[in-house]
Amino acid sequence: MRTALLRGLPAALLTVLSLTTGTPAHAAETVPLAEAVASLSLATESHDGYTREAFKHWNSGDDPADGCTTRNEVLIAEAVEAPAVGPRCRLTGGSWWSYYDQTTVTSASGLDIDHMVPLAEAWDSGASAWTAQRREAYANDQGQEASLVAVTARSNRSKADQDPAQWMPPAGDVHCRYTAEWTATKLRWDLTVDDTEHAALNDLAAACPDQTVTYTHAG
């Protein structure tokens, strides 16, 4: 399970990716952000047939024996100050740092668990062709730090299903990190980008010349 300590690491390390489902691990690759963006596959997006229910979540998480869903496992892992874990994984106390808007949150109920690449965007970018099991794995992916992020409900709902051409975190100094984590997630799951998204990512990468992306393929 992830630890809160990892949240303080640079974005290049936060995007280290690995599967936790028993699939053989792939070697991690680290490349400059611009190179990572250039390696994304271009395709026209299609929203046909999308339903949020196509991505089963939250499931029993990485440790089914702990009685916590993926949501609560992420909250426990990302806490700056650990919450108390009660019966049925009820969380009380604790504090979290929402990096999108640089806000401290002191109640788990004030947080959403954001899918770095939203479920609808994933569907539009290739997940519509996946099996139900692969979509469930995507929706509950704790194998990399960036896949699921505890952030304020306000910032998550502002983002909604938008890609970086349409929305970026309110805190401008995290844009390089966010772009790297978005790109790493797309590469991890072999998701495509459309022309507008690709152009935006290229512009963002040009503004972040020292940013790198480390990722492994989900297989």
Three-state SS string over 77-94 comes to HHCCECCEECHHHCEECC
- State residue 145's pLDDT score: 86
For residues 123 and 52, give the distance between their C-alpha atoms in angstroms, rounded to a whole number.
9
| 120's tokens | 């609808």
Whether the bond into 58 is cis, omega within 30 of 0: yes
Which structural domain, as residue segments, surrounds residue 102? 4-215
- State residue 27's pLDDT score: 81
pLDDT at 6 exceeding the cut of 50: no
pLDDT at 100 exceeding the cut of 90: yes
pLDDT in tens, 85-96: 999 999 999 999
Q: Which residue has the tokens 């969380």?
A: 91
pLDDT over 90 for what percent of the chain? 83
pLDDT over 70 for what percent of the chain? 88
Q: At what angle do helices 195-206 and 175-188 cross, to 10 degrees?
A: 130
Who contacts 49 (Cβ-Cβ below 8 Å, separation ≥6)? 123, 128
pLDDT at 20 exceeding the cut of 50: no
Q: Which amino acid is at 204?
A: L
| 77's tokens | 């892992």
Alpha helices in the chain (DSSP H): 11-14, 33-38, 70-78, 119-124, 132-139, 153-159, 175-188, 195-206
The number of folded domains in the chain is: 1
Q: What angle do CA 43, 48, 54 make, to 5 degrees?
A: 105
- State residue 5's pLDDT score: 34
For residues 145 and 6, the model is more confident at 145
Question: For residues 148 and 189, is the Cβ–Cβ distance under 8 A?
Answer: no
